């Protein structure tokens, strides 16, 4: 089968370790199901793997990819749940299982014609979503959904600031926050991306770092060092930053004076549960909200998509069809 693998890692030239080529089909495994992938999508996570972050060198070569949708052997159309963990090990939440892993870290990922996953790691694909749309949701949309629901502390409409506009998680957060009834602010670096943010549901946009006209209940943070100070300044007393990524750096000043004086909360969030994936798909199905797709190309042309991901000149998801 055709697959996209990480064969070596480099922080400076990550794409040197990318290989697109034929591999053996996966061997059947008890308790696991085979998905014939119809579409898959890239995440920043795949670039981190090529840089040597989150993917141990002794696991190479590794098929990349955490996002995908396809059909089971009996024809059932499914979305893949990428978090492999035992819910019983952590109070019903597999993301808290200390041994949990994400596809492409320990087990081969979704950027392939076929992928094997535990039987619980597929959920029905709503008929209203195309293959390309369904392939976008297992990572970015699930992550954004958990950030906005389970981890946000919001129990009604609120003011939500999303840092970044074009990123996979950031664009998902804008779309889902709007679908969930919040007032959505977005801070993005360039004018074109701010305009796009408005077109996908943001109510207000500002240049990165600029003062907002009102205080936020929650900030959705994936950018990290480049926006952290702004995120802290944007919150009302008692507000909360939910952080799931740190693309621009993971060690900004914590500004503890502001954190304790304004009684702010900083809450981490990672991926989501199978139940949250199903709930999020129901929201998309019911509201008509959909992922923003920047580009669709065949799996065989994956290198072009990785080049675009690395350039940062992307708005929404990069999808590969099989
Ligand atoms: N914890 C989890 O479960 C989880 C899940 C998914 C992703 N993540 C992490 O979250 C991060 C984002 O992932 P992604 O797939 O959404 O990545 P992505 O598509 O590459 O997006 C990167 C985002 O970062 C922004 N950005 C990058 N450098 C910036 C800078 N110097 N100043 C301002 N903004 C900057 C971009 O903003 P513009 O739009 O303004 O360019 C864009 O919104 C990654 O670090 C990833 O590893 C974590």
Give the tens place of pLDDT for each residue, 64-117.
999 999 999 999 999 999 999 999 999 999 999 999 999 999 999 999 999 999
Q: Is the CB of 194 under 6 A from ligand 1?
A: no
Instruction: Over range 191-208, report the average pLDDT.
Output: 96
Q: What is the pLDDT of residue 59?
A: 97
Measured CA to CA in angstroms, residue 77 lies from 67, 168, 198, 321 at distances of 15, 23, 33, 15
The residue to mutate among 245, 277, 308, 315, having the most atoms of ligand 1 within 8 angstroms of its beta carbon, is 245
Residue 76: strand, helix, or coil: coil
Tokens of 186: 């977005």
Residue-level pLDDT at 166: 84
Is the model more confident about 238 or about 313? 238
Nearest CA to ligand 1 atom 9: 245
The residue count of the chain comes to 322
Rg (CA), the chain: 19
Q: Is the CB of 140 under 6 A from ligand 1?
A: yes
Helix, strand or coil, per DSSP, at residue 112: strand
At 167 the pLDDT is 86
Region of 305 please: left (phi>0), alpha (psi -120 to 50) or beta.
alpha
Residue 81, both tokens: 């749940």
Using a 6 Å cutoff on CB, does residue 139 contact ligand 1?
Answer: yes
pLDDT in tens, 161-183: 999 988 889 999 999 999 999 99
Query: What values do phi and psi take at 229, rounded to 5?
Result: -60, -45
Query: Residue 32's pLDDT is what?
Result: 98
Give the closest residue to 139 by CA, choosing from 320, 317, 322, 321: 317
| 33 Cα to the center of ligand 1, angstroms | 31
Regarding the beta carbon of 318 and ligand 1, being less than 6 Å apart is answered no
Q: SS3 for 44?
A: helix
Cα(314) to centroid(ligand 1), Å: 11
């Amino acid at each position: 089968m055709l697959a996209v693998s990480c064969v070596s890692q480099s922080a400076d030239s990550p794409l040197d370790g990318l290989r697109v080529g034929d591999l053996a089909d996966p061997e059947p495994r008890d308790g696991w199901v085979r998905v014939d992938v119809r579409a898959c999508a890239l995440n920043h996570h795949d670039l981190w793997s090529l840089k040597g972050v989150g993917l141990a060198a002794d696991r190479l070569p590794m098929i990349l990819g955490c996002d995908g949708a396809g059909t089971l052997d009996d024809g059932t159309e499914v979305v893949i749940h990428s978090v492999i963990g035992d819910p019983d090990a952590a109070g019903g939440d597999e993301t808290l299982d200390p041994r949990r892993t994400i596809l492409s870290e320990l087990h081969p990922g979704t950027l392939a014609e076929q992928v094997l996953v535990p039987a619980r790691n597929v959920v029905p694909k709503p008929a209203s979503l195309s293959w390309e749309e369904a392939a976008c949701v297992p990572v970015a949309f699930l992550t954004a959904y958990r950030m906005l629901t389970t981890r946000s502390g919001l129990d009604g409409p609120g003011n939500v600031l999303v840092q970044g506009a074009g990123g996979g998680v950031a664009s998902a957060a804008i779309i889902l926050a709007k679908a969930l009834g919040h007032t959505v602010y977005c801070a993005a670096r360039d004018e074109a991306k701010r305009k796009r943010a408005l077109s996908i549901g943001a109510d207000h946009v500002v240049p990165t770092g600029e003062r907002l006209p009102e205080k936020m209940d929650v900030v959705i943070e994936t950018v990290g060092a480049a926006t952290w100070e702004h995120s802290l300044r944007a919150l009302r007393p008692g507000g909360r930053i939910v952080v799931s990524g740190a693309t621009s750096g993971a060690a900004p000043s914590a500004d503890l004076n502001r954190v304790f004086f304004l009684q702010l909360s900083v809450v981490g969030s990672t991926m989501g549960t199978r139940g949250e994936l199903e709930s999020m798909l129901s929201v998309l199905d019911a509201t008509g909200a959909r992922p923003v797709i920047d580009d669709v190309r065949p799996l065989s042309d994956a290198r072009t998509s990785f080049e675009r991901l690395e350039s940062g000149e992307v708005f929404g998801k990069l999808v590969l069809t099989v």
